[in-house]
Structure 1
Amino acid sequence: MHVPDGFINAPVSVAAGAVAAGAVAVSIRGARRELGGTSHAAGHGGENTAPLAGLVAAFIFAVQMLNFPVAAGTSGHLLGGALAAILVGPYTGVLCISVVLLMQGILFADGGLTALGVNITVMGVVTVVVSYALFRGLVTVLPRKRRSVTVASFAAALVSVPAAATVFTAIYAIGGTTDVPVGKVLTAMVGVHVLIGIGEAAITMLTVGAVIAVRPDLVHGARGLAAPLKLRVGGELVDAPAAAPVAARSLRAVWATGLVTALVLAGFVSYYASASPDGLEKVAADKGIDKKVEDHAAKDSPLADYGVKDIADARISGGLAGVIGVGVTVAAGTGIFWSVRRRQTKDAGPARVPDAV
């Protein structure tokens, strides 16, 4: 659902950019709590979120290269807002998607640069807010079990995609550059993105479930859900002692496994992705809202269209571009998230020692 340049007029694009910038600013402040500092002090494992967040951004970049067929001549791909919010928290999730969209726009000419604010608003802010609100509501009423987290993640991801399509249609209704009935655009966008949402939901549920299976403490949405283990002592039920912290090596193993998976998906599996236009591209072509689309400012980038310039072999060109994209995204994302976490730690200052009485 990457909106190109020319779909939305300049005033509305600027307004969307302001909304996106405000959301990113708010997310930076919120992410400081999610990435360390206060969450660590509360025993929620937030100190592990910074390295995981960079990996989540890289994984989402990789999976977005895997377009899957959803209807005749139409494909879809992961948006990732629900996945990021559930794994690393809603504020950090917005930043993850923003990093991915920035890398895609600058390096790969995917998503217009003047439309970056629209894309962050639609694909980042809307998907995260809608999915995480629904997710939290579901885990509140469902049994406090890990399976409830995966079920809630499926439903949240499913709803987030047509919600994003609806918001795009609203933005188009205000600032679209072509004269196409909004009702037709809305029907087409929501219809195809409900189907895409099913794929999004499956990917999100499987990924969240895989992480929960090995390190449930790393899943932001699963923290505090498990009831403490009870032991019967002297005829009374008491809380069992807390389990010892998992070794740091385990975190490194999870991170390495995730990175290798992202590299394989982007560098090899992406070659077999569907070549059909995605939901927005298909609707734009069918309904005529792409009549004023503009060439991307980075169309001559060495990595434009997810291929390395001057490499004729499509498999090698696309695979190498995917590997470079994963590497750049994980490096940029991890650097940003560590910086945000260090700022939180610095702002918190040293722990205050109570005065002696």
Structure 2
Amino acid sequence: METLAMHISNGIIDGPVAAAFGVVALAAMAVGVRRGRQDLDDRLAPMAGLVAAFIFAVQMLNFPIFTAGISGHLLGGALAAMLVGPWVGALCIAVVLVVQALVFGDGGVAMLGLNVTNMAVLAVAVAYLLIALLLRVLPRSTTGLAVTAFVAALVSVVVAAMGFVLQYWLGGTADLGGNLAALAGTMAVSHLFIGIGEGLITATTVVTVAKVRPDLVYALRALKPAAPATDATVGGVR
């Protein structure tokens, strides 16, 4: 029986669609490498390794969605975007996905382009856009940072799930039962709950790091507040 855990297995999507998204993923990673080099420094490099290890661990936790061997899991896109930025964050998740596919057989090797597009490109991009918006309108306090992390994580998980629905519509080959609308509804609702869990984990992790070392949170360094910081914040977070 085929298994889909947001990691799309071989045979779920046809070859031409998988190849097309493979090109998209390669192009996005090439841009990520070029832009990520500009961000890497003595703080970001070790943090990137820690983020990749953490994401690898949380992605091993799967939650059943369908009885036909389909499940979802935490992604880590918002966490990576907040701690190491969108470019390095996308690369971290892509590396995790490659290792999982090649070493652990989690996700088909032929489907890597699809998985990287959904989880490393789409999820991180949506998360970082929301982070950039929310950090401009919310106070840079513990509550503001927690809300930002939670919302970005929740939305990015659902959007990544919808990325799979789009790919399945373009070239799905496995019988997942029902019609496309039913598939989209099931994926959206199930990943909404998964997103809540990811949001709580992301918010807790980011706030903990920010309280101890706010300089290690990429989003706080790179995204300037709309108004000058006041005494209500210390190092960007209080």
Asked if structure 2 preserves the Cα contact closer than 8 Å seen for 1:149 and 1:221, the reply is no
Query: Which residue matches 1:13?
Result: 18
Asked if structure 2 preserves the Cα contact closer than 8 Å seen for 1:79 and 1:161, the reply is yes
Question: By how many angstroms is 1:66 displaced?
Answer: 3.0
Q: Deviations over 1:245-292 (max 9, x none)?
A: xxxxxxxxxxxxxxxxxxxxxxxxxxxxxxxxxxxxxxxxxxxxxxxx
Q: Supply the distance in 1 between the matched residues of 2:197 and 2:35 (Cα, whole angstroms).
A: 29
Q: Pick from 150, 173, 177: which aligns with 1:177? A: 173
Q: Supply the distance in 2 between the matched residues of 1:74 and 1:26 (Cα, whole angstroms).
A: 32
Q: How does 1:308-347 map to 2 (within 5 A)?
A: none
Q: Supply the distance in 1 between the matched residues of 2:29 and 2:211 (Cα, whole angstroms).
A: 31
Query: Which residue matches 2:212?
Result: 214
Asked if structure 2 preserves the Cα contact closer than 8 Å seen for 1:5 and 1:115, the reply is yes
1:57 matched to 2:52: yes
Q: Supply the distance in 1 between the matched residues of 2:62 and 2:186 (Cα, whole angstroms).
A: 19
> Per the alignment, do residues 74 and 129 of structure 1 end up closer, same or farther by CA in structure 2, a change over 3 Å counting?
same
> Per the alignment, do residues 75 and 120 of structure 1 end up closer, same or farther by CA in structure 2, a change over 3 Å counting?
closer
Please list every run of 5 or more consecutive structure 1 residues that lacks an aligned counterpart in the other structure. 37-46, 231-241, 243-357
Asked if structure 1 preserves the Cα contact closer than 8 Å seen for 2:58 and 2:75, the reply is no
Q: Pick from 141, 144, 151: which aligns with 1:155? A: 151
Q: Supply the distance in 2 between the matched residues of 1:84 and 1:115 (Cα, whole angstroms).
A: 22
Please list every run of 5 or more consecutive structure 2 residues that lacks an aligned counterpart in the other structure. 1-5
> Per the alignment, do residues 104 and 89 of structure 1 end up closer, same or farther by CA in structure 2, a change over 3 Å counting?
same
Q: Pick from 26, 31, 48: which aligns with 2:31? A: 26
Q: 3-state DSSP class of the match of 1:65?
A: coil
Amino acid at match of 1:208: V
Q: Supply the distance in 1 between the matched residues of 2:30 and 2:81 (Cα, whole angstroms).
A: 16
Question: By how many angstroms is 1:147 displaced?
Answer: 3.1
Q: Pick from 185, 188, 207: which aligns with 2:186? A: 188
Q: Supply the distance in 1 between the matched residues of 2:198 and 2:64 (Cα, whole angstroms).
A: 12
Rg larger in 1 or in 2?
1
Q: Supply the distance in 1 between the matched residues of 2:161 and 2:97 (Cα, whole angstroms).
A: 17
Amino acid at match of 2:183: V
Query: Which residue matches 1:107?
Result: 103
Q: How does 1:1-357 map to 2 (within 5 A)?
A: 1-36=6-41, 47-67=42-62, 76-178=72-174, 181-223=179-221, 224-225=224-225, 227=229
Question: By how many angstroms is 1:65 displaced?
Answer: 2.1
Question: By how many angstroms is 1:205 displaced?
Answer: 0.6
CA RMSD of aligned residues (A): 2.4
Q: TM-score, normalised by structure 2?
A: 0.86
> Per the alignment, do residues 74 and 210 of structure 1 end up closer, same or farther by CA in structure 2, a change over 3 Å counting?
farther
Asked if structure 1 preserves the Cα contact closer than 8 Å seen for 2:206 and 2:217, the reply is yes
Q: Supply the distance in 1 between the matched residues of 2:179 and 2:65 (Cα, whole angstroms).
A: 24
Question: By how many angstroms is 1:76 displaced?
Answer: 4.3
Asked if structure 2 preserves the Cα contact closer than 8 Å seen for 1:216 and 1:222, the reply is yes
Total equivalences in the alignment: 221
> Per the alignment, do residues 150 and 107 of structure 1 end up closer, same or farther by CA in structure 2, a change over 3 Å counting?
same
Q: 3-state DSSP class of the match of 2:110?
A: coil
Which one scores higher on RCO, CA 8 angstroms, separation ≥ 6? 1
Amino acid at match of 2:147: V
Amino acid at match of 2:212: V
